[in-house]
């Protein structure tokens, strides 16, 4: 189930290039185009869900797989010991810009109390 107008569906399809860091049958992780930390990776389900609520209610197992891949990404970038942050914006007040659910993995520097 993919959305032809969705930027991240186009990245999944390979129609828009990305720097992939990890991939499973149902999950893709790729570097953010405008990184806000040394490690800034986006982890997404390949199928299109608009936000965390849609994903976790429709397919909790897939939501869990996305989180496991996020942890693997932190491991691979050497951020597990130093610490890292997982962030998912949902809706306008949170500043969600791409309406294909994605988890930001931040690491590689002290992140402060919040990352705006
Ligand atoms: P949001 O604000 O929706 O949580 O975050 C969207 C993120 O997607 C932003 O951090 C932005 O830099 C990133 N982004 C937007 N367009 C592209 C793109 O074409 N490729 C990649 N790799 N990241 C993108
Ligand atoms: Zn999509």
Ligand 1: which of 9, 42, 99, 105 to mutate, judged by most atoms within 8 Å of the beta carbon? Answer: 42
What is the CB < 6 Å shell around ligand 1?
7, 16, 18, 30, 32-34, 89, 95-98
The three state secondary structure string of 67-94 is HHHHHHHHHHCCCCCCCEEEECCCCHHH
- The interface pTM score, or ipTM, of the predicted complex is 0.99
DSSP, res 98 = S
Taking the C-alpha atoms of residue 59 and residue 77, their distance in angstroms, rounded to an integer, is: 28
> What domains, with CATH codes, occur in the chain?
7-107 (3.30.428.10)
pLDDT for 3 equals 76
- Could you list the active site residues? 102
The CB-side HSE value for 64 (13 A sphere, CA atoms) comes to 3
Mean pLDDT of 107-115: 87
* Mean pLDDT value of segment 103-114: 93
* pLDDT exceeds cutoff 80 at 81: yes
**With 80 as the cut, is the pLDDT of residue 30 above it?**
yes
How far apart CA 37 and CA 4 sit, in angstroms, is 30
The yes-or-no verdict on residue 66 having pLDDT over 90 is yes
Tokens (6 digits) for 87:
């962030």
Q: How confident is the model at residue 116 (pLDDT cuts 50, 70, 90)?
A: low
Which letter does DSSP use for residue 34 in this model?
S
Q: What is the mean pLDDT of residues 95-99?
A: 97
For residue 41, the cross-strand partners are 31, 105
Does the predicted model carry a pTM greater than 0.90? Answer: yes
- Nearest protein CA to atom 24 of ligand 1, as residue: 33
């Amino acid at each position: 189930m993919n959305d032809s107008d969705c930027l991240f569906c186009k990245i999944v399809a390979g129609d828009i290039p990305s720097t992939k860091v990890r991939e499973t049958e149902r999950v893709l992780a790729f570097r953010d185009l405008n990184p806000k930390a040394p490690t800034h990776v986006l982890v997404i389900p390949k199928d299109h869900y608009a936000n965390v609520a849609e994903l976790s209610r429709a397919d909790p197992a897939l939501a869990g797989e996305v989180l496991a891949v996020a942890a693997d990404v932190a491991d691979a970038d050497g951020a597990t010991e130093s610490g890292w942050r997982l962030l998912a914006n949902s809706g306008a007040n949170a500043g969600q810009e791409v309406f294909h659910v994605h988890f930001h993995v931040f690491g590689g520097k002290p992140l402060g109390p919040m990352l705006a």
